[in-house]
Structure 1
Amino acid sequence: MNTAFRAIPSVDVVLRSGTGSVLVERFGRAEAASAIRSQLDDQREIARAGGQLLDAEGVAEAALARLEAASLSSLRPVFNLTGTVLHTNLGRAALAEAAIEAASEAMRHAVALEFDLDSGKRGERDEHLRALICEMTGAEDATLVNNNAAAVLLVLNTLAGQGGGAVVSRGELIEIGGAFRMPDIMARAGARLIEVGTTNRTHEKDYKAALAEDGVALVLKVHTSNYRIEGFTKEVEAPALSQLARAANVPLVNDLGSGTLVDLAKWGLRREPTVREAVAEGADIVTFSGDKLLGGPQAGFIVGRSDLIAAINKNPMKRALRVDKLRLAALEATLKLYRDPDRLVERLPTLRLLARQHDEIATLSSGLLPQVQSVVGADYSVQVVECASQIGSGALPLDTLRSSGLGFRPQSGGGGALDRLTAVLRSLPIPVIGRIADGMLILDLRCLEDPEAFLANLSRLKHGMG
C-alpha cells in the first residue's frame, strides 16, 4: 500500500502536466488546484482498496471533467420536443433574431435608458415603447411592467387599492400555473372582490345589481385563456360591459392574458380577440403578456386611457415592477416586426412554429427515423407517429395543431424502460425533452428547426445508455 501511495502524483506535478496547464488557463490556478486535490483524495481511497491508479495526466483529465460539469449552467438550452410551443417550464417564446441582436447591443453598451437625448435631461424608460405600443393597439397611452401578473396587480392596486370594489364574473376567477389565483391577486392589491353570476352563466342584470352598490371602483373582465366552459353558458361581452361601466362611471379593465396583436385565424388557429379589438370594444384598460402569443421576452403591457395610465405610472409599486434595458430593447425589436405582416411568420419564431404545416413536419420525421433507430439500438422500436401539438401558456387550451414526431416503444421493461430513456435524453449535452403517452415516448418535431444539431447531439446517446 505504501508503494501505491507513493505512486500518487502531487498537486504540483499534476498542475505541470499538459492537461493541468489547460486547467489553469480555463479555470484559474486556485480552482484547478482545488479540483486536483479532490481527485487526489479519490486516488487515495482507490489505493486503500487496491484499485487502479491514474497518472498525473489522468488526474488532470478527471479534474477537468469535474470542473467542466460544475461550470455548466443550470439554465441550459434544450430541445423542446414536448409538442407545447409556448412551454412555461421551458422558457415560453424563443426570441426573434432581431430581438436577440437588440438585447445584445444593450448589454454591450451604455444606452439612453432614462435620458432624453433631445433635452439632455432625465427621461422615462417607457418612452422607448409607448408610441410603438399605441400604434399597434390603438390605445391612447401605454406602460409596461415585468409580466402580466404584475400588470394586473398594479392596475388593481392603483384603481381599487383602498378597498374599492372590483366586479368580476365567478366564471372568470381563474387560477393559472404557479398557483396564481385571481382572488388572491385582488386581495394583495387591496381590492375588494365583488363576485357576480355563477360559474357558467353571468348576465347583464348581475353586473347592474353589483354596480348599484356603494364603493365599486372598477369592472374586471378576465379572458379565461387556460380553460373553457362549454354547454349551458352565458357571458357578457366586452362592448356591453363597457356601457355598463360607463353608466356607473367606473373603468372597465380587460385582462387578455396571452394577448395577441394579429388575427391568428389566417394561420389556421382559432380566432383570439386582439388587443386592438379589446381597446375598440370600449375597455378603459387592457393588460396582456409579452412572452406568449406576442412572441417577445417576458413583460406585461398595460394600455388604455391616458388619465388612467398616468395614475398607474405614479403608483410607487411601478418602480418595483419595471422592465430592464435588455427586455426593453428586445420588446422594441419584436414589436417592430409587426409592421411588416407579410414577413412576420418568417421572422417571429412563435408564429413560425405555430404556423408550421403538418406535411413539412411529417417529412422531417420520416427523414430522421432511420438514423434515430440506429442510435437507440434494438432495445427500443422507433416509429413515425401522428400527434397533436398545443400552443401552451394558457393560450387556446383546447385547440391542437396536427403534428408528427417519433415514438419510442421499449421492447421490454415497460414504463421503467421509458423512464430510463427519458433520463438519458435529459443527460445529453443538449437535453431532449419529450412526453410520454400511449405507452411510448413521443418526440413531437414541430419545434425542431435544426435536425443536424439534433442528430449530432443524439449521437452521444449510445455512450450515455452504455
Structure 2
Amino acid sequence: MALTRESVVHGSKARPQDLPSVDKLLRLAAVQTLLDAHGHTLVTDEARALLDGLRARAVAGDLPSESLEADSLTASLCAQVEARVAPRLRCVVNLTGTVIHTNMGRSVLPQAAIDHVARMMSGPNNLEYDIAAGGRGDRDSIVEGLLCEITGAQAATVVNNNAAAVLLTLAALSHEREAIVSRGELVEIGGAFRMPDVMASAGAIMVEVGTTNRTHLVDYARAIGPNTGLLLKVHTSNYAVQGFTSAVPESELAQLSRERGVPLATDLGSGSLIDMAKYGLPKEPTPQEMLAAGCGVVTFSGDKLLGGPQAGLIVGDRELVGKIRKFPMKRALRLSKLPLAALEATLMLYLQPELLTRELPTLRWLTRSEREVNAMAQQLLEPLRAAVSPRFEVSVVALSSQIGSGSLPVERLPSAGLSITPVLSGKRGVGTALDALAQALRGLPVPVIGRIADDCLLLDVRCLDDATQVLQQLGALREALA
C-alpha cells in the first residue's frame, strides 16, 4: 500500500488530517527494508517521532504538501533512523598539530594492537585462566612479565588509567598515614584533577615540604616521622618551573628512603619506555631510570608517550607491588580484557625497538622529519586550493607541533602544514569566514580538525599518514562551501 500525491494534496500546504497513520507509513514498500535492517521497535519509534514533527509543522501551516509524498516520507524516515543509529564516537583527521591529543583519544593504537583486540574480542580467551595449570589465573600475568622485562622491575600490575594507579598506590601504601610530597609537585592535570585531591581520596595525610620553586633533601628528612607511610615524587610533565629552582633527584631520595625505611613512589605521568633523546626528541624520564635510581614504585600512563591504550601501569619492588595488587580497591580499578589485549600487543613492540618508529603511530609521528611533513603539505596544496577557491587562499607554511597530553609542555617540533585565509577586502568578516570553514571541515564524513590562529585556519599535517584521508573529501568540502 503506497501513498500517492493525489491522496495528500490540498493546496500548497498539508493539513494535520492529511498525515498518514504510523501503520500506513510502516507498510510502504521502501520502509520494509528499514524494518528488516533495524527491527520493528526502532523504526516504529522513529516513525512516530517523524509524524509528530510533521504534524506540528502542519498545525503551524508551514508543511509543504510534497513532504507527505511516499518518497519524501520514506527518505525522511530513513535519514532519521540512520541518524539515530549513527555512532557518537567517530574517527577524525587530526590536523591540529598536537600529536597526543587528549580530546581526540590520545595515542592511536598500533595495527598489531588493533588486530590482537579483534581476535581476543571475537570469542572466549584466557583472561583469568591458566592454560598450563588448567585452573584460575591472574589477569595481571598477561602483561606483568613484559613490563618487568622492559623496565627491569621485580613486579608489575595495571589499572584503568594513571590517576587510578596513583590513587591505588597511595591508598595501599599510605592510607591513614602521611605521604610526604614537595609543594612544587602538587600538580593539577586535565579536568581540575589535583594531586592533593587524589591523596585525600586515597585516605593519605598529605605533608607538604619545601617551597613552590625549591625543595631540598633535608626538607623530606625533617618531615619523616613515626606515621610516615610514603615519600612521593611527582614528575611535573605538564608544566615547567624555570629560574631559581631546586628539586631532589630520585637517587638521593631513594637513599633517604632506604635509611629511614619509608618507601618511595614516583609518578611519571606520561611514562615513556624509551630514551626519547635517541630519536632527537626532548629527554623524558623513563620507568627504567627511576627504578635504577632506587624508587620502590613507579606509575605511568599507557596512552601517552607509551603509545598504547588507556591504562595505569605500576611497576617496582615485589613486596610493594604485592601490597598494591592485594588492596581491595584494585578490583574496582582493574583493566578489562579489551584494553589489556591492546596493552599486551603494544608492549610486545618494545621487544623489537628497531621497529617502533614504523609500527607505533605516536612515535612515528613524533619522529617524522620536516622534509616528510612538508612533502605531505605540498601534496595537498593544489587540490585544497581548488576546493576552497575563490573564497579562500591556501599556502604551505612552517609550523610548530606539540607533543600533547601534558608531555614535554614547553617543547615544540618543527612541522609544516597549510594556511587557509579568507579572500576579503579588509579584516571585517575574517573570523566569521574562518569559523564557517572550520565548521565545513568538521562536517565532512570524516571530520577534519585544524586550528584557527592569526586570522587563518592552519592544518598541520604531521599526523597525516595518508593524503587520501583529506583528498577524497574535498568534493564534499567544495559543495559545503558553495
Normalising to structure 1: TM-score of the pair? Answer: 0.95
Measure, in 2, the Cα distance between the counterparts of 1:262 and 1:144.
19
- The residue number in structure 2 matching 1:435 is 451
User: Which residues of 2 match residues 2-401 of structure 1 at below 5 A?
Assistant: 2=10, 4=14, 11=22, 14-17=25-28, 19-44=30-55, 45=57, 48-49=61-62, 51-54=64-67, 55-162=69-176, 164-211=177-224, 213-401=225-413
C-alpha contact 1:15 1:60 (8 A) present in aligned 2:
no
Letter in 2 for 1:385: V
- The residue number in structure 2 matching 1:448 is 464
Q: CA deviation at 1:26?
A: 2.2
Letter in 2 for 1:284: G
Matched residue of 1:227: which SS?
Answer: coil
For structure 1, the residue ranges without an aligned partner over 5 or more in a row are: none
Of 317-326 and 265-274, more deviation after overlay is shown by 265-274
Cα deviation digits, residues 168-199 of structure 1 (max 9, x gap): 11111111111111111111111111111111
Q: CA deviation at 1:148?
A: 0.6
C-alpha contact 1:20 1:57 (8 A) present in aligned 2:
no
Matched residue of 2:273: which SS?
Answer: coil
Cα deviation digits, residues 379-418 of structure 1 (max 9, x gap): 2212112111111111111111111111121224111221
Measure, in 1, the Cα distance between the counterparts of 2:270 and 2:79.
43
Cα deviation digits, residues 313-370 of structure 1 (max 9, x gap): 1110000000001111111111010111111111111101111111111111112111
Letter in 1 for 2:413: L
Of 110-119 and 394-403, more deviation after overlay is shown by 110-119
Matched residue of 2:473: which SS?
Answer: helix
Q: CA deviation at 1:28?
A: 2.0
- Mark the CA change 1:434 to 1:50 in structure 2 (over 3 Å): closer, same or farther: closer
Cα deviation digits, residues 118-139 of structure 1 (max 9, x gap): 2222111101111111000001
Measure, in 1, the Cα distance between the counterparts of 2:205 and 2:41.
58
Measure, in 2, the Cα distance between the counterparts of 1:34 and 1:156.
50
Measure, in 1, the Cα distance between the counterparts of 2:274 and 2:388.
42
Identity level (%) = 50
- Mark the CA change 1:31 to 1:278 in structure 2 (over 3 Å): closer, same or farther: same
Measure, in 1, the Cα distance between the counterparts of 2:91 and 2:416.
22
Letter in 2 for 1:182: M
C-alpha contact 1:36 1:60 (8 A) present in aligned 2:
no
Of 275-284 and 451-460, more deviation after overlay is shown by 451-460
C-alpha contact 2:379 2:467 (8 A) present in aligned 1:
no
Measure, in 1, the Cα distance between the counterparts of 2:46 and 2:228.
64
Letter in 2 for 1:361: V
Normalising to structure 2: TM-score of the pair? Answer: 0.92
C-alpha contact 1:405 1:445 (8 A) present in aligned 2:
yes
Measure, in 2, the Cα distance between the counterparts of 1:16 and 1:82.
48
Letter in 1 for 2:405: S
Measure, in 2, the Cα distance between the counterparts of 1:41 and 1:53.
17
Matched residue of 2:457: which SS?
Answer: strand
- The yes-or-no answer on 1:404 pairing with 2:444 is no
Measure, in 1, the Cα distance between the counterparts of 2:146 and 2:209.
36
Q: CA deviation at 1:70?
A: 2.1
Matched residue of 1:460: which SS?
Answer: helix
Measure, in 2, the Cα distance between the counterparts of 1:333 and 1:463.
42
C-alpha contact 1:46 1:53 (8 A) present in aligned 2:
no
- The residue number in structure 2 matching 1:417 is 433
C-alpha contact 1:14 1:57 (8 A) present in aligned 2:
no
C-alpha contact 2:10 2:65 (8 A) present in aligned 1:
no
Q: CA deviation at 1:52?
A: 4.5
For structure 2, the residue ranges without an aligned partner over 5 or more in a row are: 1-8
C-alpha contact 2:166 2:299 (8 A) present in aligned 1:
yes
Letter in 2 for 1:80: N
Measure, in 2, the Cα distance between the counterparts of 1:49 and 1:298.
50
